[in-house]
Amino acid sequence: MSETPNVDTWTVQRLLDWTRGHFEQNAVESPRLCAEILLAHAIGCERIELYTRYHSTPDEAALSTFRTSVKQAAEGRPIAHLTGEKEFFSLAFEVTPDVLVPRPETEILVERVISLARQKDNEIKTILDVGVGSGCIAISLAKNLPEAAFSASDISEAALAVARRNAARHEVSARIDFRAGDLCSPWDAEQQFDAIVSNPPYIAETEAADLPTNVRDYEPSLALFSGPDGLDVVRRLAAETPPHLKPNGHLLMEIAYNQAADVTRLLDESGWRDIVTYKDDLGHQRVVHARRRK
């Protein structure tokens, strides 16, 4: 963009075309989409509105904001950090470096919990979200399950602050009991739930070097890594959640694309029953569901 002396030639269409190519060269995921998100944010419009402004030229302030964002995105900074939010389950969530950027695969977990709760033979009225992060799971569930009550924990006070702001934004604060602490520790043993859900850290520490820059260098390591094989927190959830579940209660977790066999075996050996997994759009098993024995 800086190569041209005439800023008036930088129409929305040209900005998007140039930025898409620039992002492709710098291995930015979904280059066209990211270009549109950043330009809409800089202009202050909805992304769909860009198509009605194709031949217009953004003002200098918007162009300056866009140039800065494009440079940072090409260097690896997450798009959600540049815009300050990310859409998840058709809701907009505030995102900061203190929380994971919500991802499409996590929507599978939300979908499975909603489907489970709506089955007539299931009594799911109390749900605990362990490691709540931005709040995208608990809040999306609260918006879709109005009769349920929710609790949520996170070891990070900064993450909890983001989750509370997102809950207020979506008007579900009164229905979610946020508490700081490690896994289920904020609740007494006698406090039991119908279901516990979690998107725990599940990346092996040995895989850190293989992660994209925008993940490894910008997202909280505490929410990413979990021991040499990525299963340290999953093991703890398998061992520590049963006392906090009602008899036959449900545990649903997101897992890495290659962990289904190991997690299924781990849960089976830990005494869980009715263990099933669910696939993402690429055919990878990304969510595991198990029930506590009576």
Residue 190 has pLDDT above 70, yes or no: yes
pLDDT at residue 2 above 60? no
Domains (ranges, CATH) in the chain? 7-75 (1.10.8), 94-291 (3.40.50.150)
In whole numbers, what is the pLDDT of the chain averaged over residues?
A: 95
pLDDT at res. 157: 98
Q: Residue 102: what pLDDT?
A: 97
- pLDDT, residue 8, reads 54
pLDDT at 4: 43
Name the more confident of 8 and 161.
Answer: 161
Give the pLDDT of residue 122.
Answer: 79
Q: Which residue did the predictor score with more confidence, 189 or 274?
A: 274
Burial class (CB in 10 A: 0-12, 13-18, 19+), 126: middle
pLDDT per residue as tens digits for the range 101-131: 999 999 999 999 999 999 978 789 999 999 9
Once rounded to an integer, what is the mean pLDDT over residues 63-76?
97
Distance of CA 80 to the CA centre of its chain: 11
- pLDDT at position 1 is 57
Three-state DSSP string of the chain: CCCCCCHHHCCHHHHHHHHHHHHHHCCCCCHHHHHHHHHHHHHCCCHHHHHHCCCCCCCHHHHHHHHHHHHHHHCCCCHHHHHCEEEECCEEEECCCCCCCCCHHHHHHHHHHHHHHCCCCCCCCEEEEECCCCCHHHHHHHHHCCCCEEEEEECCHHHHHHHHHHHHHCCCHHHEEEEECCCCCCCCCCCCEEEEEECCCCECHHHHHHCCHHHHCCCCHHHCECCCCCCHHHHHHHHHCHHHEEEEEEEEEECCCCCHHHHHHHHHHCCCEEEEEEECCCCCEEEEEEECCC
pLDDT over 90 (residue 178): yes
Per-residue pLDDT at 7 exceeds 80: no
**What distance in Å separates the CA atoms of residue 271 and residue 48, rounded to the nearest whole number?**
50
Beta strand 91-94 with 85-88 is antiparallel
* Cα 17 to Cα 126: distance, rounded to the nearest angstrom: 48
In this prediction, residue 280 has a pLDDT band, given cuts at 50, 70 and 90, of: very high
Query: What pLDDT does residue 92 have?
Result: 97
pLDDT, tens digit (0-9, with 9 covering 90-100), for 219-234: 999 999 999 999 999 9
pLDDT digits (tens, 9 = 90+) for 12-27: 999 999 999 999 999 9
pLDDT value of residue 189: 81
pLDDT at 293 over 90: no
> How much of the chain exceeds pLDDT 70, in percent?
97
Q: In the structure, what pLDDT confidence band is assigned to residue 66 with cuts at 50, 70 and 90?
A: very high
* Residue 6: pLDDT over 60: no
* pLDDT at residue 294 in the model: 76
pLDDT at residue number 5: 40
